Amino acid sequence: MTILTIATKPFDDQRPGTSGLRKKVSVFQQPHYLENFVQAIFDSLAGYQGQTLVVGGDGRFYNREAIQIILRIAAANGFGRVLVGQYGILSTPAASCIIRRSGAFGGIILSASHNPGGPHGDFGIKYNTGNGGPAPEKITEAIYQRSREIHSYHIAESGDIPLETLGTVQIEDMHVEIIDSVADYARLMENLFDFDQIHGLFNSGLFTMRFDAMHAVTGPYAHLILEERLGAPPNTVMNGTPLADFGGGHPDPNLTYASDLVAVMKGGFLSPDFGAASDGDGDRNMILGRNCFVTPSDSLAILTDHATRVPGYAKGLAGVARSMPTSAAVDHVAERLGIPCYETPTGWKFFGNLLDAGSVTLCGEESFGTGSDHVREKDGLWAVLFWLNILAIRRQPVEEILREHWARYGRNFYTRHDYEGVDSTRAQELMHDLRVKLPGLRGKDFGSHRVMEADDYSYTDPVDHSVSTGQGLRILFENGSRIVYRLSGTGTEGATLRIYIEAYERDAARHQDDTQTYLGSLIQLADEIAAITERTGRDAPTVIT
């Protein structure tokens, strides 16, 4: 076998977004496109010779082809060992777990997360560092810069490696170990949660649940952990076989796209007690009770409130963190616990330093992401198991736990309105004009809302003091309400405008109000201030969460 050096030309569109490089499959299938990016990753790193790399993905279309290419480039660049999930499958949190456990130099995760898959869908690639977390902006920027000047890549001439059979094979001097995709992760979960107690809950005959894997990566994880280990009946996991096109669905666990599960949970007393879903790559979660939806922001607050009752967190929490657009529900719990609560820009990479420094134990985002210091990614099944542990302790309906939480801490009414597929130029202009307008909004009255502050959110990392600017336009009102505008960094078609709206309500008599109604005046204001309807030509958002 030989190592080839192939001449190539740079592509100008390889800047990683919120979570890696995401493009249409057809873009990745262009000759040299993936190869260039992988070589650009390796060129931006130093000291990996002879070291271990972890590789796996969410099983979407092009996953296996991409893995074969990555293996050959890794061998040509001098990695000593690559750990690959069987069939090329690793959920994002499992990849993070394996990077940490194996002492790997880093990992490459193939996923476009919740974006649709299949030949006409999306594909993605992300580099994670040795702490198991997404590379920080310093590295993703270096990769991008390198991708703009790359003129050759190195690749071993080798046949395809069979990804089905566990065991070790060799490419050049590099060992390729095909490993069980689930085992390490399942062991980690067992150490964090009281499996006996959860087993008891399933055995009680008084509790049923449904988990929707959405034909994505969590199927095998959920079958093993929920059904085999925890004794849930075999029909607990739905859509549990990973498919390359996710069964034609949109593997995004929210009330719009997880419609199979939502329908099951709306069946009144016939519905299961607990419902949950995860996304394409297994890092997101949605939590449902019978006729009840727990917003991700509330879920983070409730997990924080119960943490010391769960074995893995019995020693207490160092602190918590949430992304800026996430509601302040967790802030109230942190205050009671007397622990710090950090605010970071959108994207899990911003939690890494805080977790590594031991400053925070739990963290989360409004976009259905919750996690802790057990790995360096958000973790869908982890959140589900955390909830199961809480339900096994409290033996109360989800809805009751939620109501009691609001009664104690007040309720942060919260919604996100997404306008997908907006013309990119128009979206940029809208954001630009709004940014210019912000300083003039201070002190202005809009009905009962007086603007206290309006700015373009910028973040200074408390650990390495790096600064990230342009992280979202915020309008903060004196009564504690706020509106945030951001453009998505994960989409592949046009622009997605996200508007986040929040208001705090102490009075329990209002806690059962409908969210969209309660926030109605702010929703209207959000439209007016940025002239959304007028400038996008849309009269309603694509998705409301």
**315 CB contacts (<8 Å, ≥6 apart)?**
308
- State the nearest-atom distance from the C-beta of 251 to ligand VG1, in Å: 10
Give yes or no for residue 418 binding ligand VG1 (CB under 6 A): no
Helix (H) or strand (E) holding 170: strand 167-171
CB atoms within 10 A of CB 165: 9
- Per CB under 6 A, the segment of 41-49, 55-63, 151-159, 345-353 that binds ligand VG1 is 345-353
Pattern of binders to ligand VG1 over 99-138, x per CB under 6 A?
--------------xx------------------------
- Tell me the number of residues near ligand VG1 by CB under 6 A: 18
What is residue 454's three-state secondary structure?
strand
Taking alpha carbons only, the member of 217, 489, 504 closest to residue 350 is 489
Give yes or no for residue 377 binding Co ion (CB under 5 A): no
Residue nearer to ligand VG1 on the CB measure, 14 or 346: 346
Structure tokens at 382: 């982890």
Instruction: Evaluate whether 37 touches 14 at the Cβ level (below 8 Å).
Output: yes
Structure tokens at 52: 């271990």
Give yes or no for residue 461 binding ligand VG1 (CB under 6 A): no
- State the nearest-atom distance from the C-beta of 109 to ligand VG1, in Å: 9
Q: Which of 39, 271, 278, 367 binds ligand VG1 (CB under 6 A)?
A: 367
Residue ranges in 313-397 assigned as alpha helix (H): 329-337, 352-356, 380-394
Give yes or no for residue 282 binding ligand VG1 (CB under 6 A): no
Half-sphere exposure of 48 (CA within 13 A, CB side): 24
Give yes or no for residue 58 binding ligand VG1 (CB under 6 A): no
Structure tokens at 7: 């001449």
Residue nearer to Co ion on the CB measure, 108 or 390: 108
Beta bridge partners of residue 343, listed in sequence order: 322
Residue nearer to ligand VG1 on the CB measure, 302 or 495: 495
Pattern of binders to ligand VG1 over 493-522, x per CB under 6 A?
-----x------------------------
Pattern of binders to Co ion over 256-295, x per CB under 5 A?
-----------------------x-x-xx-----------
Distance CA 452, CA 433 (A): 20
Q: Which residues are catalytic?
A: 113
- Cβ-defined contacts of 437-446 (< 8 Å, 24+): 437/529, 438/473, 438/475, 441/475, 441/529, 446/525, 446/528, 446/529
Place of tokens 């399942």: 186
Q: Residue 280 carries which side chain, given as an amino acid letter?
A: G
- State the nearest-atom distance from the C-beta of 420 to ligand VG1, in Å: 10
- State the nearest-atom distance from the C-beta of 18 to ligand VG1, in Å: 3
Residue nearer to ligand VG1 on the CB measure, 227 or 279: 279
Beta bridge partners of residue 107, listed in sequence order: 54, 128
What is residue 396's three-state secondary structure?
coil
Residues found near Co ion in the complex (CB under 5 A): 113, 279, 281, 283-284
Residues found near ligand VG1 in the complex (CB under 6 A): 18-19, 113-114, 279, 283-284, 323, 346-348, 365, 367, 369, 488-490, 498
